[in-house]
Structure formats: structure tokens, C-alpha cells
Amino acid sequence: MNSVVCIKRVPETAEATLKIDPANRKLEVDNLVFGINEADNYALEQALLLEEEFGGEVIVVSVGPPETDEIIRMALAKGAGRAIRISPENLSELDPYSIAKLIAHELEDEEYDLIFTGCQASDDGFSQVGVALAELLGIQHLSMAVKMETEEESATVNRELEGGLMAQYKLNFPAVITIQTGLNEPRYASILGIKRAGSKEIRVVEPGSWNEKMVELNKLSFPPPGKMAEIFQGSPAETAEKVCEVLKTKGLL
């Protein structure tokens, strides 16, 4: 079973101090640490598990700058066979459609049963590349997979819906599946493994300037500070109780 996994290098922004470069409509990234997009890491693991079970090859594809090789090497260390890095000149101007189109173009000559992507990128949050890719390749897709049982030529996939509903689908290969976090437990890429993966192939594609986009980013800004916060007073036990009450009222508990 051959799988293609689309991975993206994203900045870790949870605790970092973020600054916006207004002229270029992007984040200032000098002080940020980058890694593989979390959902993509689960997508990669799913492909590696299938390779262990059914054999075949895992091919990693990423659209990004040369620094993307850091996460590609990690994916190769974990067991992917080879990789394709697509680096157009105008990377920061791409939208999901143009990224999907770039990937679809490179996959024309590849043989695959499944294409995995993460369900969403943590930086731009579009959730569209996987779905657009399926449309461009003319194959089926399922998004937001939380569980997957695979056979030789088909898979049964669960999608989690609002209100705790679970929908189960069966789809035949080839197909694109976009993966939610929590579907599996991603493995670790050791440093020695990453070094050894240096001998595996990363094919670099440089398509120059790529102008097939459909949407354009106008500006990037922080939301205005809201006045919704309420600070609970009292002992830890009292405040914890109040927090529980709020969570219950909002249907989260």
C-alpha cells in the first residue's frame, strides 16, 4: 500500500510573543520555533502504520522553503521512503487552492492508494488543501478522520460530528483522508535516525512564481481585546466550582 503524506512546516505560536509584519502581511518569524504541523504528524503516523501492516511506500510531500527539510528529514527518519519538496518563489502568497494544485501536479506520475493530510494547518487554519487536492485529482475524500480501519483496497473511516455524534463511512482507494489529532500516537524521530535519513532522497521542485490562487490575504491583525473575561475570586475549591458551573452551563462538561 503506497501512501502520500502532505506535511507542513509551521511556527509554534502557543506561548510565543507574536509580531506582525504589516507590510508583508505575515508573521515575523525570527524568534519563532518551527515544527511539523500537529495534525500532519498524526497523518504521517497513520501512513507509517499502514506501511508496517501492508507494505509499500510512504512518500512525503511538502510545499515550503528549504528549511522545510528539517521536518522532512524527521519524517524520513520515522520511516518514510522518500520526499518531494515544492518550493515556489512566492511561497508566502499561496492560498490552499494553489498549494493543492502544486501538489496535484507533482503527484501525476506517482502511484498511490491513499493520500493523507492533517485536517488543518495550525498557522493559516484553512483545512482545505486535502479536499481541494482530492477534487483536482478526481478521487474521493473524507475529512476530519478520527478512526480508521484499513483493508487492502478500502477503509472504514469515522468522522466526529458536533454533539458527540460519530459518522462512519467506507471508501475505496485511491482517496484523500484528512486526519484529526488523536487518531494514533505519533512516534519519535531520534537524532541518529534523522542523521541516517540524510541519505534518503528529497526531490526538490522549484516551479518559479506560482499564480493560480483564488483568494488573497488582505491583512493580518490581532483581534481587539474583548471584555468577556471574568476573574473568579475565592479559594481554589470555590473558584474550581465556579469554573465547573460555567463549563456545565455552556455544555462543555
Partner 1 sequence: MSAGDLEKHDVLSCIQCGRCTAGCPVSIRTTFNIRGTINLNLRERKKWIQPQDIWSCTTCHTCASRCPKGVGIVDYIMGLRSYQVERGKIDPAARDALESILKHGNPWGRVREKRSDWIGENKVRILQEGESTEVLLFVGCTPAYDPKAQKSAQALSRILAIAGVDFAIMGNSETCCGNEVKRMGELGLFEMLVEDNTNLFSKYKFNKLVTISPHCYNTFKNEYPNLGDKVIHYTQFLVELSEKGKLKLSNDNEAKAIFHDPCFLGKQNLIYEEPRTLLKAVLKEELLEFDRNRERSQCCEGGGGRMWIEVDSDKPRTAEERVRDAHYYGAEILATSCPFCLLTLSDAVKTAGLEDKLQVKDICSIISPGEGEKDGQT
Cα angle vertex 39, ends 25, 164, to 5°? 115
Looking at the Cβ atoms of 13 and 154, the one nearer to partner 1 is: 13
Among positions 109, 185, 206, 230, the unique one binding partner 1 when judged by CB under 8 A: 185
* 114 to 60, 68, 118, 173, 239: CA distances (angstroms): 12, 23, 13, 6, 49
Residue 73 Cβ, how far from partner 1 at the closest point, in Å? 12
Q: Which of 43, 113, 186, 210 is the binder for partner 1 (CB under 8 A)?
A: 186
> Which CB, 52 or 151, lies closer to partner 1?
52
Using CB under 8 A, which residues numbered 5 to 24 contact partner 1? Answer: 12, 15-17
Q: State which of residues 165, 191, 231, 252 lies at the interface with partner 1 (CB under 8 A).
A: 191
Instruction: Please tell me whether residue 207 binds partner 1 under the rule CB under 8 A.
Output: no
Q: What residue type is 214 in one-letter code? A: M
Residue 195 binds to partner 1 (criterion: CB under 8 A): yes
Find the binder of partner 1 among 18, 19, 21, 31 (CB under 8 A). Answer: 31
What track of x and - describes contact with partner 1 for positions 67 through 86 (by CB under 8 A)?
----------xxx-------
Write out the residues near partner 1 by the rule CB under 8 A: 12, 15-17, 31, 33, 35, 77-79, 185-195
